[in-house]
Structure 1
Amino acid sequence: MARKFLVGGNWKMNGSNQLVSQLVKALNEGSWSSNVECVIAPPAPYLASVRSGVREAVGVAAQNVWVDPKGAFTGETSTEMLKDLKIDWVIIGHSERRSIYGESDELVGKKVAAALKAGLKVIACCGESESERDANKTTEVVFRQIKAIADQLSAKDWANIVIAYEPVWAIGTGKVATPQQAQEVHKEIRDWLAKNVASEVAEATRILYGGSVSAKSSPDLQKEKDIDGFLVGGASLKDKEFLEILNSRQ
């Protein structure tokens, strides 16, 4: 089964009206292969303007969502709000949400389930810290994180999930896992899905690599069999470089 390559751009807490206009203009005027899907994730205050401004072929994701559809949850964003704004994707479980805001594996799983129930598509993040990698706990950590998601879902739910493997030690540090390191973990994830969910799910689920992806590193990373795209951080704020990454798929 051919898995369509996906390049996501996570803007994190960066942006202004000027930057939004610049990046949206670049995506509207840029071009990339029809075999590559593009999804961008601006901060919540800019979701509406990005969705109304960028061409329909570009998916727009929220960077977070809450588990309840509405209620007294000050500062949170609901699935109903995202659907009302015609937002079709959400990133859940990013390492910054886990480490800074204390989101547990269980909460991440519940968020994924709530988003899917609302009809959103999910980029679900997983990844180990540098100390965990040094202790040879990479797969232990990643499998634990994915299991907490799988425990909330049925096999059919996976049709709307993309996994993003983001080694924490490579996020915003300039360090990038070698193509071989990334491929090794991606294959382990796919094997886990085959064993614990379903072989069909393992074959169909796209697994992205994230962690200081750049125009320089993306051409070699995209050659690996089990790397189905990228979740790009800082480079997604540079219009020319992000377009280069979108066009790195061969």
Structure 2
Amino acid sequence: MKNELLTVEEVADFLRTTPNTIYRWLRSGKLPGVKLGKEWRIRKEVLDSKLVESRPNLKRQSLMDEIEPKNNHMMAIASNEADLYNLEAEFFKKGLALNHRLFKGCWWQNTDDVRQELATRGLPVEELERKNLLTIVDLAKKYKSMGVQGPIKAWTDEANITNELGYNFLWGSGSPGLGSCGDFSNLIHFESLLDDTLAKLNVVGICPYLYKDSTKDNLNEFIELMNCHQNVVFYSNDSFVYLKNSLS
């Protein structure tokens, strides 16, 4: 329909990104829009023309299309905390669209902060938790009480609960840091064991790390971590590079 006006949420869903990203594009002029009172609207014909002009940008919006909805264990490297939360929110929205149950494991993240960050990115966290469609677990606490087996058991238990509830897959995201398990060798042991464990379960799992943890002194450590995952994605400001690990 000519001159059809779209809401920010409709455009975000169409481009597979977050409303916050659309607001940022509107404010910067990257995406032309009109303001009706306090609300932004985007003309569909303007959006269509922008997509034609910027076809390479379409690729940057299709990261979730790269993730196969079957057994998968992926490592992500995000440029900052905001990008990490954007990636997790996008990942969870994809899982919900496929009618899968969600699992969020926290290492350095505070569970209440996670709830707030995901909610501001358009996920109905309270409703999802109430319906047992999303569970948020403190994996650092599990590790402290049981060692490596603690977070492994958390992933396994949630996968089994997901199966009992009748969902085909658990879509889960953890958020380790290089120091999450103390000694780096313990982290490698955990990621290797997690990779073996998830391969036997109906789980699509992603382990986002922050780029600020990466320096020239620990580049080899990041390479070792990459080899504990089937795929690796580098994510920054809605752009990404997706790599398949030929060694996995």
TM-score normalised by structure 1 residue count: 0.40
TM-score normalised by structure 2 residue count: 0.41
Work out which structure has the larger RCO, using CA pairs closer than 8 Å and 6 or more positions apart in sequence. Answer: 2
